[in-house]
Amino acid sequence: QKVIEKYPSSPQAANAYLLLGAAQRGAGDLEASTKTFQDFLVKFPQNQLVGEAWLGLAENLDLEGKSDEAVRVLEEIQAGQADSYVAAYAALLEGRVAIREGRLEDARKVLSALVATYPTSPVARMAGAQVDELVPFLPANSEAVPAVQ
């Protein structure tokens, strides 16, 4: 907070907003965390870390039980920032929401697409492992997940 107050428009302040939002979420203050991520998006709309703020908002929505809204934000991240690492992470989170909701075939599709789109990403390895864990619970006619490189 001190960095944000002292250097409000600096790159350091942008980083501080993200760290603060994550810390607030970790402390259970989702309302403050959401406001912090929203403030980041208003003050730094062109910052290279804007995807991180959107991910923070999506995670908060999910924690608030608003999984439909969270998935919408995660899908927007994937569509709008497909070349960024945050798109892969957003897909992983979307897959995890689907698993938690029991939508295993949807989870398989999202996670398999992540592996196919970002095969060399560490996130793809996590997604591939999650699909492997889903296989015993999926119908026999489900498509296989692409191999992770």
Confidence category of residue 60, pLDDT binned at 50, 70, 90: very high
Q: How far apart are CA 48 and CA 45, in angstroms?
A: 9
Mind listing the pLDDT tens digit for each residue in 73-131? Answer: 999 999 999 888 899 999 999 999 999 999 999 999 999 999 999 999 899 999 999 88
Instruction: Tell me the H-state helices in 81-117.
Output: 85-100, 104-117
pLDDT of residue 143: 59
Q: How far apart are CA 77 and CA 80, in angstroms?
A: 5
Confidence category of residue 142, pLDDT binned at 50, 70, 90: low
Helix axes 50-63, 85-100, angle to 10 degrees: 10
pLDDT of residue 79: 94
Can you read off the two tokens belonging to residue 62? 């999910």
Mind listing the pLDDT tens digit for each residue in 6-35? Answer: 999 999 999 999 999 999 999 999 999 999
pLDDT of residue 138: 76
Residue 72 has pLDDT above 90, yes or no: yes
75-92: b or e for each residue (b if 16 or more CB lie within 10 Å)?
Answer: eebbeebeebebbbbbbb
Confidence category of residue 141, pLDDT binned at 50, 70, 90: low
Can you read off the two tokens belonging to residue 17? 């907003």
**Number of alpha carbons in the 13 Å side-chain half-sphere of residue 67:** 12
pLDDT of residue 89: 96
pLDDT of residue 91: 96
Residue 148 has pLDDT above 80, yes or no: no
